[in-house]
Amino acid sequence: MLAAILRQNPRIHAAMSSPVGSLITAMLRQMSQDNEAGLFIDDAQRQAVLSAVFDAYYRAIPAELVIDTNRLWCSKLPLLATLFPRARVIACVRHVPWILDSIERLIRRNKLEPSKIFNFEPAGTVYSRVEGLGAGGGMVGFAWNALREGFYGEEAERMMLLTYETLTTDPDRAIDAVYDFIGEPRFGHDFNDLNYDAKEFDARLGTPGLHDVGRSVSARTRQTILPPDLFHRVENDSFWRDPTLNTRGVLVV
């Protein structure tokens, strides 16, 4: 949703997660001592190669500012600070039970097609799906761990946490805070004219609708479809909701 809003600004490029994150991690591995030729690569060369990956991928993008929406960047803040000293990370967060609820709703809506999110395994239950999502390498668990790494790390001042609740109930305040944080002039966005989807990508995942964004920004209330014990199990995982845990003074909007 945030990308769908910001991409209205011609100065900004924003979309779904690009392959840059996976390219960077692959290059880090290949330039390490795991590769016998890593002996001939020094840190200056590593930095130049990694910077070139970003440059090569985004070279054809006419926008002046690029927002790469990969969940792994929270775990790579020291690297980003080295490659791009002015880089900032806007971490979009939501009360964790409702993230799991949304994914479960999507899976049930696509009842005739198994999802790659769960390795196309159709035999699971809501319990196994929540456990898989929350595992260290799961779609939610990895993002949650990466967020905590950045939130409590030395580069935490580069981070801003934008809550789904604020974005949907007060989008003007949310977007103004984003522009202030990244040091960009504000832009007049239309929160009732959003347009973004990734139908072909989602179809290949066996998860149609995964990246669909509603036409307008609004807060919708509903009853959860998660069993009560599952919902309550993760209620306390939204650590950013407790100001006493914000030891680095990260901006939370």
Q: State the SS3 of 162-228.
A: EEHHHHHHCHHHHHHHHHHHHCCCCCCCCCCCCCCCCHHHHHHCCCCCCCCCCCCCCCCCCCCCCCH
Residue 131 lies in a domain: yes
- Reading the block at residue 147, the tokens are 């967020």
pLDDT of residue 35: 87
Task: Please tell me the predicted confidence (pLDDT) of residue 133.
Answer: 97
Within-domain flag for 15: no
Two tokens, residue 142: 């990895």
Domain with 161, as residue range(s), is 70-252
Question: Per the domain annotation, does 226 fall within a domain?
Answer: yes
Instruction: Please give the pLDDT value at position 194.
Output: 93
End-to-end CA distance of the chain: 16
Note whether residue 183 is domain-resident: yes
Euclidean distance between CA atoms 8 and 76, whole angstroms: 28
* Structural domain contains residue 196: yes
Q: Which pLDDT does position 98 carry in this prediction? A: 97
Provide the whole-model pTM.
0.92
Q: What is the pLDDT of residue 80?
A: 96
pLDDT computed for residue 195 by the predictor: 87
Domain count of the fold of the chain:
1
Q: List per-block mean pLDDT (blocks of 10 residues) for the chain, which spans 253 residues.
A: 95 93 95 88 95 95 92 96 95 97 96 94 95 95 97 96 97 97 95 92 92 91 96 96 97 98
In a domain? residue 31: no
| pLDDT for the residue numbered 21 | 96
User: How confident is the model at residue 11, as a pLDDT?
Assistant: 95
Whether 62 maps to a domain, the answer reads no
129 is a domain residue: yes
- What is the distance, to the nearest Å, from the Cα of residue 86 to the centroid of all Cα atoms in its chain? 19
